[in-house]
Amino acid sequence: MSLKVKVDKIKGFSLIELSLVLLILAALIAGGMSLSSIQAYKEKYDTTLKNIKLIENALTVFVALNGRLPCPASPAQKILNSTFGREQVTAGAVGTAQSCNSTTTNIFTGSVGGNTQYYGAAPVTTLGLPDEVMFDGWGNRIGYIVTKPFVNSSKTNTSCTSGGSAANVSNNIYFCYRGQASGNSSTSIQVLGEGYYANYAPVYILISHGENGYGAFLKNADVDLDNGGVNGSNADRNPNPPSSNPHELLNLNCNSGACLTQNYVQKEISTPIFDDILLFKNRNNILLDCNKYGNNACTLNEGIIIG
């Protein structure tokens, strides 16, 4: 009897099957790259939020200690210079309000609702924070916007102690007035946005210009304020957004050509043409935080009433 061995035929891949395999592999590779990109973005976004939160907390401590907010720092000063990250403040005459120094500092200024607005960089050195906290996850400087009433207190402007009718006061939103209400949309900076943030009137804004970085001052900006404000060899800031991106233009305010507006924009969801990240507080919220931090520091030490 003969032994028969059954041998299965081995089938090869057809061109169609091979093509399908290659397509699946390509999709997996592309998916991996996409996940990698998402992870890289998240890390930079998280760094940005962490630094902005550190600045926010330090601003609360500053208000508790000083009864006012700091002026912005120069957004273009060299990192190693002595004035890097320091508020640029100009003291007024005795009994008059102090202002922020916008001469040769690259701090932008303009009139908003009868008050002076200042737009510079977060004053991390003045706030006792490390240099790197000034930068977002993409290496750009975090912006800081504030108006003149809130960089003053009863210590810097003695007319604040007499109430809201002083002749040199344009409105009642100063930190130093007892019992005065928060600012409103006609007298302060304003954040326009979605839901809760619509028509929100903050006392300050911290802003990252996101991944696209439009208009942001760069980490390697090298204006030399210690030697007369001479520009260095490095570019100091990114180009402005295109006209097709009006909301990011608005967030540059006095840098955009559409200058001296009081409105900024926050959106709950980032898009390819809008990725700015804003953090802000109104007058009452920062005073509540100040009192929580400093055992009623703003009310007891500065006489500031929430209202």
pLDDT given for residue 88 in this prediction = 95
> Rounded to an integer, what is the distance from CA 247 to the centroid of its chain?
15
| Cα gap 81→270, rounded to integer Å | 35
217 - beta bridge partners?
A: 237
Rounded CA-CA distance 280/111 in Å is 20
Q: What is the pLDDT along the chain (307 residues), one digit of tens a residue?
A: 555 555 455 555 566 666 676 776 676 666 665 667 778 888 999 999 999 999 999 999 999 888 889 999 999 999 988 899 999 998 877 667 788 999 888 898 887 767 788 999 999 999 999 999 999 999 999 999 998 888 887 777 666 654 444 333 444 456 665 434 444 445 568 888 765 555 677 889 999 999 999 999 999 998 888 877 777 777 788 998 888 888 888 888 755 555 556 788 888 777 778 899 999 988 888 888 988 887 887 877 776 766 5
Beta carbons within 10 angstroms of residue 211's beta carbon: 18
Write down the pLDDT at residue 169. 40
Rounded to whole angstroms, the Cα distance separating 161 from 141 reads 36
Closest by CA position to 193, among listed 303, 274, 90, 131: 274
Partner residues linked to 146 by β-bridges: 118, 204
Distance CA(68)–CA(298), nearest Å, equals: 9
For the chain, the maximum distance between any two Cα atoms, rounded to a whole number of angstroms, is: 123
Look at residue 183 in the predicted model and tell me its pLDDT: 45
**Read out DSSP for the chain?**
-PPP---PPPPPPPHHHHHHHHHHHHHHHHHHHHHHHHHHHHHHHHHHHHHHHHHHHHHHHHHHHHSSPPPPBPSSB-TTSTTTT---EE--STTS--EE--SSS--EEEEETTEEEEEEE--TTTTT--GGGGB-TTSBBPEEEEEGGGG--TTT-GGGGG-TT-TT--SS--TTSTTPPPP-TTTS-EEE-SGGGTTB--SEEEEE-TTTTTTPBBTT--BBGGGTSB--SS--BPPPPPTT-HHHHHTTGGGSSS-S--EEE--SS-BTTB--EEEEE-HHHHHHHHHHHTTSIIIIIH-----
| pTM for this model (two decimals) | 0.81
Please give the angle made by the CA atoms of 277, 147 and 75, to the nearest 5 degrees. Answer: 55
Strand partners for 140: 218
Domain ranges across the chain: 16-302
pLDDT for residue 171:
44
CB proximity list for 264: less than 8 A, separation 6 or greater: 145, 189, 190, 191, 192, 205, 207, 250, 251, 253, 278
For residues 170 and 164, what is the distance between their CA atoms, to the nearest angstrom? 9
The pLDDT score that the predictor gives to residue 152 is: 83
How many other β-carbons are positioned within 10 Å of the β-carbon of residue 8?
5
Chain Cα centroid distance, residue 90: 23
- So what's the pLDDT on residue 204? 92
Q: Which amino acid is at 147?
A: T
